[in-house]
Amino acid sequence: MSADSGCRGENQSEITVVDNGHLANVLVYVKDGLDGRSFPPPANKVKIVQGGCRYVPHVAAAMVGQPVEFVDEDHTLHNIHAMPKNNDEWNQSEMPNGSLARPFKTAEIMIPIKCNQHPWMKMYLSVLNNPFFAITASDGSFALKGLPPGTYTIAAVHEKFGERDVKVTVGPQEDRKDVGFEFRP
C-alpha cells in the first residue's frame, strides 16, 4: 500500500471480523417462504466507498434494480471490476473523488468486486429480490425488519465459511424472533 501515496496506508483485512465469538460481514436474508411476492426496489442508492484503498463496507446488499453507487474518496485512480455469474461482468475505471452508480438486473449472492489497480481491494455485493436482508455488525447482530407472519428459510452467508440455513416461523403477534447461526472453520 505504501507504494501508492493515495492509499493513506489504512488497509485492514475484513474477511473474518470476530468480536467475542460473533462474526461480522455476514449476509443474512430470506431465502425462501415469500411465495412469489414481488417487491419494488427502493429509489435510494446503496453507497460503497473506496476509502483508504479498501471498499467500505466489505459486504453490502441491494435489491434487484436498486442503484449501487461506488464513490472514490481516495486521491488515486481505482477501478471497479464486478465479477458476477448471473449479471453482466463489468470493469470500469474511476477517477479520484469520482462516483458512478448502476443497478444489477438479476438476483445473485456474494458477487466478488475488486480493484485491479490495488489487488488487495475486494468486497462482496449481494443482489436480492426482496427487502428482507441485513449484514451482521461487528457483534454479529442483525435485524430483518417488517417480515410478515409466515414460515421462512433464513440464510446466513460468509465469504470464507459458506452458507447456513435455518427455518423460522413468525407468528401474527411476534415483533421479535431470536435466530442464530454457527460457523466453524
pLDDT along the chain (185 residues), means of 10: 62 58 91 93 95 93 97 91 94 91 95 93 96 94 92 95 94 85 79
What are 95's three cell numbers?
A: 477517477
Q: Which helix (H) or strand (E) holds 135?
A: strand 133-135
CATH number of residue 137's parent domain? 2.60.40.420
The total domain count for the chain is: 1
Confidence at residue 20, expressed as pLDDT on a 0 to 100 scale? 67
Nine cell digits for residue 131: 427487502
Amino acid (1-letter code) at residue 57: P
Inside any domain, residue 140: yes
Q: Report if residue 60 sits inside a domain.
A: yes
pLDDT for res 28: 97
The answer as to whether 159 is a domain residue is yes
Residue 176 within a domain:
no
Q: What is the DSSP-derived secondary structure letter of residue 8?
A: T
Query: Is the pTM value of this prediction over 0.75?
Result: yes
Q: Exposure pattern of 56-93 as b/e (b: 16+ CB <10 Å)?
A: ebbbbbbbbebbbebbbebebbbbbbbebeebeeeeee
Q: Is 5 helix (H, G, I), strand (E, B) or coil?
A: helix
C-alpha 62 chain-centroid distance: 7
Domain with 94 in it:
5-170
Domain membership of residue 178 (yes or no) is: no
